[in-house]
Amino acid sequence: MEQIQKNDGVPLQDLNSIVREVVKNLDNSAQRVIKTPANARLQNLQSTMYSINAPEVYRPAPLERYMKEWTEFAEGGRESLDKQAIKFLCWVPGIAVDVRFLACVESSGIELDWRFLAGLVRSCHCMWGNMPSENPSIHIIRGLLNQYRGTNQVLHKWQAHFDALLTEHAPKIMADIFLHSKKSLASFIEEWRIEPQSDFFRRVVEIAAAACRNQLDQPAGDLLVLLFRDLLPWPGWILSNFKKEIGAIILHKPLSDESCEMIQRFILHFKGLGDPRISANRIKWAEVPEKAKELLIHWLSQENTYIFPEHVYQQGKGWVWKQRASIRDPLSFENAGLHWLPLQ
């Protein structure tokens, strides 16, 4: 025993008292548990058991809840909208541009962060085709955007370019900014955070494409790269407008030989068009002006199907055989430049 006390440093009688104290505490705890009614001890379990067979309580989705709140407000059943409803409805185009909603936003005293304002601008752009040029909603949204004092850099960019976002001629101004930026369409959208499927941006693309079309009498350059690489393949076109633009491009005069070849190569390899002489593609050409289709067929009928390689001199390699390009070869783009071989 002395050896144990020496090694452990705790006398056995002390250990015995500690054990008795622990057992006593356990007994006391058990007595308290026994004396407590079962429904109090198992309250959480009881409520869970009751909820298993309880009828499901329907909670509307946020859109449904806030739309109902908006309807009540618009019909005079509510004096105002709560903050969460306003935050959500800023992103619902048909409501966000309503003067009554914007008046409610202004009178609410809510400090609009960048999410609120981004939703308002996006909604305005989505409704662009259905809004008159002097719509008061645009002026209100512009005033709310001007009040922003946060740190979001995109909103600061918007504040510095109201004329390119929220004015009658904004699509034209934004198209000019895009063409002078020499950026791809995807990079430009990322920089400006514009809704790419909005009526506003659709108009921007249409104006930019028309501006590039006017350069078809020039040798291949940056604007033609944008036209064939970014603008025409953009998926947001209204189909009828796209077909009209294709017709205008084919019929454009004057037209350089290089541009003529580029047009043919783009059309033949674009899934939405293809060779109009092939029966499977005829439906795709339904809305393209007939004169444009006839001119393209005339161009294609003059194609030299026998393309022979030519002997050319290349720096560092000497004289080599190089295959000439055919309109059957798709256009290829690398970085910001256009790389293609003109027909001989």
Burial of 323 (0-12, 13-18, 19+ CB in 10 A): exposed
Q: What is the pLDDT of residue 5?
A: 45
Amino acid at 48: T
pLDDT at residue 325 is higher than 60: no
Chain centroid, CA 202 distance in Å: 13
The residue extents of the domains of the chain are 2-51, 61-168, 175-305
pLDDT band at 338 (very low <50, low <70, confident <90, very high): very low
Percent of the chain whose predicted confidence (pLDDT) is above 70: 75
Q: What is the pLDDT of residue 292?
A: 96
- A 10 A CB-CB count for 255 gives 15
Phi-psi region of 182 (alpha: psi -120 to 50; beta: other; left: phi over 0): left
Per-residue pLDDT tens digits for 227-260: 999 999 999 999 999 999 999 999 999 998 888 9
Are the beta carbons of 211 and 223 closer than 8 angstroms? Answer: yes
The Cα 249–Cα 51 span in angstroms is: 68
Q: What is the pLDDT of residue 161?
A: 95
Per-residue pLDDT tens digits for 132-186: 777 899 999 999 999 999 999 999 999 999 999 999 999 999 999 999 998 999 9
Residue 322 has φ and ψ, to the nearest 5°, of -130, 130
**β pairing state of 332-334 and 337-339:** antiparallel
- A 10 A CB-CB count for 344 gives 9
Closest CA to 115 of 154, 61, 159: 154
pLDDT higher at 36 or 91: 91
Question: How large is the average pLDDT for residues 76-99?
Answer: 92
Q: What is the pLDDT of residue 131?
A: 84
pLDDT higher at 28 or 74: 74
pLDDT band at 206 (very low <50, low <70, confident <90, very high): very high
Q: What is the pLDDT of residue 61?
A: 65
Q: What is the CA radius of gyration of the chain?
A: 36
| pTM of the shown model | 0.73
Question: How large is the average pLDDT for residues 1-27?
Answer: 66
Q: What is the pLDDT of residue 175?
A: 97
Measured between its terminal Cα atoms, the distance across the chain in Å is 110
Per-residue pLDDT tens digits for 210-220: 999 999 988 76
Percent of the chain whose predicted confidence (pLDDT) is above 90: 56
Q: What is the pLDDT of residue 123?
A: 95
Closest CA to 92 of 113, 119, 57: 119
Greatest mean pLDDT range, 34-38, 124-128, 338-342: 124-128
Average pLDDT score over the chain = 82
User: Range with the lowest mean pLDDT among 7-16, 164-173, 184-193, 330-339?
Assistant: 330-339
Amino acid at 165: L
Q: What is the pLDDT of residue 20?
A: 80
